[in-house]
Chains A and B, each alone.
Chain A
Amino acid sequence: MTPSDHSGGGTGSLRLWDRLSVTTKQIVWAWLFLAVPILFFGVVRFYPTLQAFWLSLTDWDLLNEANFIGLDNYRKMLADPLFWQVFRNTFAYLLIGTPISIAISFVIAYYLDRVRFLHGAIRALYFLPFLTTAAAMAWVWRLFYQPPPIGIINGFIGMLGFEAQPFLRSTEQALPAIMVTAIWAGLGFQIIIFLAGLRAIPTTYYEAARVDGLGEFTILHRITLPLLKPTTVFLVVFSSIGFLRIFDQVYNMTSNDPGGPLNSTKPLVLMIYQTAFSSYQMGYAAAQTVVLFTILLVITMIQLWILRSR
C-alpha cells in the first residue's frame, strides 16, 4: 500500500504528493513518525522543565497562588549552609564514585573477558544487583551496616577483634558506606558494557601486536584503552549522571533521619524532595532543580569535550 492510497479524497493533494521526490517523501514520513515521540517528550519532559524554570522564580507553596519573587530563591540557596553541605556531598558521590566504579568495572571486565570457565555464570552474578530494586538492596545493606548485635559486618569486625564501627550512624563513615552500595549496584551494568566494548575490538589488532612482540601492558595501553574510548565516554557520562542523581540508596538506608546524621549523606536530589514534599516550598525546590540541571548539563558537556575523539 502506498501513502497515496490514503489521500484518495482530493486530486489536488494527490498531485502535490506525486510531485515530491522520493527523498523528500522519505523525510516527510520520517518526520511523521518522529512527531509522536517529539510530541510526547515535549509535553511530558520539556514543558515541565520550562515550567520548573518559571517556578524557581516564584514562592509557590502548593496551597497559595504563585507570586513572582525574582531571584530570591537563588539568593536564599547561596546563603543556606545546608545547600552547600548537600552540594559537597553530591560532588563527593560524583568525584569518588565515578572513577572508582569505572576502574573496578574495567578491571573485572578485562579479566572476565579472558575467563572461559563459568564465564556466563560469573557475568550473571555481577549483573544481578543491577536487576534488583534499589530500595530493596538498600534495606539489605542497611541491615549489614547495623551496630552489634545484628549487623553482619560489625559481627565480622568483632570476630577479628576490632572495635565495632558506627557506619551509618557516623558523620564521617555514612557517606562512604552508602557510596560502596551504589558502586556495587551499578557495577554489573558497566561490566557488561565494557565486555561488549572489548569484544568489539578486532582480534587482528592483537595478533599483529603480538607478532610485533609487544608486551601485554603495551597492548592494553596502546590498543585496548584507545579503542575502548567510546565505551568509556559513555560509561563515564552515564555513571556521573547516576551519582549526581543518587537518591534511592540514601533515602532508604537512612530513612530514620533522611540524609544521614546531620545531613552527612544528603544529596541534592533528596534535598529537593524534602524541600518540595515535606516543606512544600515548591519555588525553592524548583530553584534547586535548576541548579542540579545546570550541573548535569555542564559536567556532561565537559566530559564529552575532554573525552572527544581527536
Chain B
Amino acid sequence: MTRIALTGRARLRLAAALACATALGPTLASADVEIEYWQYVFDARVKAMDTLIDAFEAENPGITVKQVTFPYADYQTRVVAAHAAGKGPDVVQLFYGWIDNFVDGGILQPLPGDAFPASAIEAEFFPIVGAMKRNEQYYALPTAVRTMALFYNKKLFAEAGVAEPPKTLDELVEVAKKTARHDNGGNLVQAGIALDIARQDHHWWRTILTAQYGGAPYSDDGTTVTYDSEAGLKALDYYLALQTQHKVGKEGFMDEGQAAFRAGLAAMVVDGTFRLASYGTIGSFEWGVAELPAAADGTRANYASYFANGIGASASGEELEAAKKFLAYISSPAAMELWQKEVGELPARKDVAMTEANLADPVFGPFIRALDYSQTTRFVDEAAQRQIAIDMVNRALLQGQSPADSVAEAAKAEQALLDRHFAK
C-alpha cells in the first residue's frame, strides 16, 4: 500500500474539491441517475419488483433503480424516520390506510399532473383508487389491488361429504359444523373455519359482515364510527357464535388462522389475494377459492385494499423525472400482468383485470368479481383501529362482556381516535 503524505493545506483543498464534486454530482453526471425504491419484505413482491426494475432499466438507460426493503413490522417506522432524517426514498410503497399520515407528514409529493392526469386515473383505474386523492390531487397509484374470498380445503370438504363451498352465511355455519372435529375432552382439533381477528377477520367483521347486515362501519366522510348499530352488533354476534355457540373455530387455534389452514387443520379461512402465493406452496392437499358467502337476502360485500406507490417529497430535478418514469412503468398494464402472475394480486386497471380469462379463472375469478361490490374503508391509524377490534372480540370471548356492550365500548374508543386525528 502506498501512502500519500498531504500537508494540512493540501488536505483542505482536497476536501473542498470533494465537497464540490458531491454537490455538483447529479448535474455533472447527467447521464446516470440512481433512484431508490422502498417496499417491505415479502418474497414474491421483492422478486416481482426485481424483474420490473430490470425491464425498466433496459428501457431507460442511464436510470438505475435501487430496491430497498425492510421487514413489514418496521417498514412504516423506517419511512417516517428516514423522512425525519431527510433521507427519504424517491419512490415509496405505502398501504392505502397510511396515506393520511404520509400526506400530512409531508413524506409524499402530489403526483405531477403532466405525467399522471387525474382524468386518466379515474377513467382507467378502479374507483377504490380514489382513496389516494387529497385536496383534489392524487398522491399514489397502486400496481395491484386485493380483495378477500373464502379459501376452502377440498380434501376436508370431501371427507365431510361437502360438495361445494357455502354460498350464504348460514350455509357457512352448516359446512363449518360438518368439517369441525373435537377430541374427547371437547378440544377443537380441526377447525371448520380458521378464525383470526388480528389478521383478516377484523375486516370481515367491520367492512363486510356489517354491510351485509345492512349497516356501515363509518359515515361516508370517514369521521364518525357507525358500527355501534344493530347491523354491527348482528355482525359481531354472527362472528362470535362461530366460536362460542357452534364451536367450529377458535381464536388462537394453531397460533394463527393461516397456519391452521396451511397445516390442513381448517376447512375454510377468510383471506386475501395476497395469500395466494403462500398457499400456492401447499403440497399436501388441494384447495379452492369461492366468493365470500352472501347474506340471507343475497347481499354481498367485500373489502378491497392495496399498496400504492408514491413519489417521495425529497425527489427533485433529475431524480423526480426518473421517479415519474419509474412510477408510470410500475403502474402500466404490463407491470400489472406480471404482478398478478408473480404475486397473485389483481391488476388495478379495470381493462387489465376484467378480462374474460380472469373472470373465468377458478382462482382469480372470485376475487375479481368481488371488485364490483368492494368497499375500501378509510383508516386513520390502521394498527390502533385493528387493536380496538381485537380488544372488542377479546372482551366478549375472555371476559364475558355482552357483545352489545363490547361493540359500544369499541365504538367509543375508535371515535375518540378519529376525533383526535381529525382535530389535528
Question: Which residues of A come within 8 Å of B, CB atoms?
Answer: 62-64, 142-143, 146-150, 154, 158, 163-164, 166, 168-171, 256-257, 261-262, 277-280
Contacts and interface: CB of A to CB of B under 8 A. Distances in A.
A169 B398 contact: yes
B84 A63 contact: yes
B362 interface: no
Contact of A146 (B105, B255, B381): B255
Contacts of A147: 187-188, 250, 252-253
B80 A256 contact: no
A62 B254 contact: no
Interface stretch (B119-127, B169-177, B334-342, B387-395): B387-395
5 contacts: A62-B105, A158-B183, A158-B185, A164-B185, A171-B394
B264 to A, nearest CB: 12
B221 interface: no
Contacts of B255: 142-143, 146, 150, 256
Contacts of B387: 257
Contact of B384 (A163, A170, A279): A279
Given A169-B251, A169-B252, A280-B80, A164 B187 contact: yes
B192 to A, nearest CB: 15
Nearest to B254: A150
Contacts of B384: 278-279
A148 B187 contact: yes
Nearest to B196: A256
Contacts of B198: 256-257
A153 to B, nearest CB: 13
Contacts of A277: 77
A171 B399 contact: yes
A123 to B, nearest CB: 34
A149 B185 contact: no
A146 B399 CA distance: 20
A273 B80 CA distance: 15
A92 B84 CA distance: 37
B105 A149 contact: no
Interface string B356-395: 0000000000000000000000000101100100110011
A143 B399 CA distance: 24
Contacts of A262: 391, 394-395, 398-399
A164 B253 CA distance: 12
B106 interface: yes
Contacts of B80: 62-63, 280
B183 A148 contact: yes
Q: Which of A143, A163, A171, A278 has the most CB of B within 10 A?
A: A278
A278 B383 contact: yes
Interface string B81-110: 101100000000000000001001111000
Shortest 8 CB-CB contacts between residues of A and residues of B? A63-B105, A148-B187, A169-B252, A261-B394, A149-B189, A277-B77, A256-B198, A164-B187
B194 to A, nearest CB: 13
Contacts of A280: 80, 101
A178 to B, nearest CB: 15
Nearest to A163: B185
B265 interface: yes
B99 to A, nearest CB: 14
B84 A62 contact: yes
Given A64-B105, A164-B185, A262-B391, A149 B398 contact: no
Given A164-B185, A169-B252, 20 more contacts: A62-B81, A63-B84, A64-B105, A146-B252, A146-B255, A147-B187, A147-B253, A148-B183, A150-B255, A158-B183, A168-B252, A169-B251, A256-B198, A257-B198, A257-B387, A262-B395, A262-B398, A278-B77, A279-B383, A280-B80
